[in-house]
Amino acid sequence: MIFDNATRQTNQNNTPAAYTKRQTYRTRHEEEASFMKAYDHIIRFALLITAVIAGFFIIRARLVPESFGVQGSYSYAFYRADSADEQAALPAVHQGSAHCSACHAPQASLRQTNAHAGLECETCHGSFKAHNNNTKERMAVSGSVDACMLCHAALTARPAQFPQIDSFSAHVAQQNETLLPGMTCVTCHDPHAPM
């Protein structure tokens, strides 16, 4: 009963007895300790956030290539600058007629005086690929009628002034020639000097 009375005396704000009693006996040291304890969760949170931000920048530095960034325009030039140089270093496959005439001078000079003067060797012969790369891989040279007809077959869409023939047999008949087995365009026309 005495205990009950004592409790009632201190319990002025209807708080539990045990809590009120503890507060009464707090020292200054205890006050400071409880202050630290009260902010402990914030300190831990701040450390965590710092670690996350630091981690972000470390990972970002590793993932983003060195030359990546804005190269003059946000909208159109936000890229890895090294990429352009990498692409520029790709080997060229087509070499141009000047490259061929070093070994194939007769054909090159013949071609220059004729209807096919404006043509590159690679237009008909295809790209050089490995041919001039010391491997001397044979190039596809097609003497077939189809190869010539790719350009010279009569099509409505072709410019009228461009030389065209309706068909190989019709062309042979038109030229008053006899169509023989095995005959192709190159029987009569040297492809390097067709006309």
> Is 193 a binder of another protein (CB under 8 A)?
no
Q: By CB under 8 A, which span of 1-9, 15-23, 34-42, 87-95 interacts with another protein?
A: 87-95
Q: By CB under 8 A, which span of 18-26, 39-47, 55-63, 154-162 interacts with another protein?
A: 154-162
Q: How far is CA 161 from the centre of its chain?
A: 42
Q: By CB under 8 A, which span of 6-14, 20-28, 86-94, 175-183 interacts with another protein?
A: 86-94
Residue with smaller CB distance to another protein, 4 or 86: 86
> Is 93 a binder of another protein (CB under 8 A)?
yes
Residue with tokens 């020292």: 27
Residue with smaller CB distance to another protein, 124 or 183: 124
Member of 104, 129, 131, 189 binding another protein (CB under 8 A): 129
Binding mask 47-66 for another protein (x = CB under 8 A): ------------------x-
Distances from the Cα of 116 to the Cαs of 14, 99, 120, 163, 191, in angstroms? 111, 18, 9, 12, 8
Binding mask 14-33 for another protein (x = CB under 8 A): --------------------
CA distance 188 to 180: 12
CA atoms within 13 A on the CB side of 46: 5
Q: Looking at this protein, which amino acid is placed at residue 120? A: E
> Is 68 a binder of another protein (CB under 8 A)?
yes
For the chain, the distance separating the N- and C-terminal CA atoms, rounded to the nearest angstrom, is 133
Distances from the Cα of 36 to the Cαs of 39, 41, 152, in angstroms? 5, 9, 93
CA distance 124 to 183: 19
Closest separation between CB of residue 100 and another protein, Å? 12
Give residues with Cβ within 8 angstroms of 143, minimum separation 6.
184, 185, 186, 191
Binding mask 109-128 for another protein (x = CB under 8 A): ---------xxx-xx--xx-
Write out the residues near another protein by the rule CB under 8 A: 65, 67-81, 83-84, 87-94, 96, 118-120, 122-123, 126-127, 129, 149-151, 153-159, 162
